[in-house]
Amino acid sequence: MNIIVLIKQVPDTTDVKLDPKTGSLIREGVESIINPDDRHALEAAISLKKAEGGKVTVISMGPPQTIDALSEAIGMGANEAILLSDNAFAGADTWATSSTLGKSIEKIGKYDLIFCGRQAIDGDTAQIGPQVADYLHVPQVTYVFEIEKIQKKTIIVKKRLEGGYERLQCTLPALLTVIGELNVPQYPAIGRLIDACKEKSPIKIWNAADIGVQASDVGLEGSFTQVIKTFAPKFKRQGEMLEGDAKKVAGTLVEKLKENKLI
């Protein structure tokens, strides 16, 4: 089986804050990690490869430091990795990103399955998986939380819906986006991590010319949406702190609720 996994390196959003003066993101001291959902995608691909035989290729579009994420993916068990890195890719919205990723996958050629995480914790769009699937004209299943069975031309999976789930059969090749419920990702193996950093590393780097894309189709120029502004969310709350011992505070709270006609 030829399996492709799309991953993204993201800032750990628990720690991300906006500079109140400039309105832009403070990135210093914020750790870069493999997007959590993508970790589950990697684990699924690697498990499947172990069971069925084959190869796992990991692709990521990002700045040069993304190589750390790809090394970790090799450490987890992926066979090879491709970093798509070029100044021309910067500022891309999901349209431009999916074009870049899609073209790269076309260049790789043969694949049976593409795994993606459902959504990235920085952009929060959950759009890349479905957009890449349409670019490649393959069927998709999103919110996959269980892989039941795989056969030569089909796969059976369970997909989460509000209030329940569906069991679906999907023809291959296909693209799946997965959620955390699917599995528990393994830690990378030290030996494999070291291999990832060696001279004959299984990590390749492709730029726009290598993929065969024009600058106008990727990055900021190739995007349909533009960010007009970013700002910190405002909270309009009373912020009243209640003082006293547990009994007193409880009494005060009941009064407050009564005053506001809540009870």
Rule CB under 8 A: say whether 197 interacts with other proteins: no
Cα atoms in the 13 Å half-sphere on the side-chain side of 153: 0
Q: Point out which span in 40-48, 73-81, 106-114, 237-245 binds other proteins (CB under 8 A).
A: 237-245
- Closest to other proteins by CB, 78 vs 105, is 105
Longest Cα pair distance anywhere in the chain, in angstroms? 72
Q: Which of 164, 184, 200, 259 binds other proteins (CB under 8 A)?
A: 164
Q: CA 47, 48, 49: angle at the middle one, nearest 5?
A: 90
Q: CA 175, 96, 128: angle at the middle one, nearest 5?
A: 30
What is the Cα–Cα distance from 183 to 169, expressed in whole angstroms?
A: 20
As measured in angstroms, the least distance from the Cβ of 112 to other proteins is 14
Q: How many residues bind other proteins (CB under 8 A)?
A: 90
Please say whether the beta carbons of 46 and 78 come within 8 A.
yes
As measured in angstroms, the least distance from the Cβ of 105 to other proteins is 14
Q: Point out which span in 38-46, 67-75, 160-168, 182-190 binds other proteins (CB under 8 A).
A: 160-168
116: closest CA among 2, 4, 6, 33?
Answer: 6
Q: Which of 171, 189, 194, 197 binds other proteins (CB under 8 A)?
A: 171
Q: Which of 73, 81, 174, 178 binds other proteins (CB under 8 A)?
A: 174
Write out the binding residues for other proteins, residues 58-117 only, by CB under 8 A: 86-88, 93-95, 98
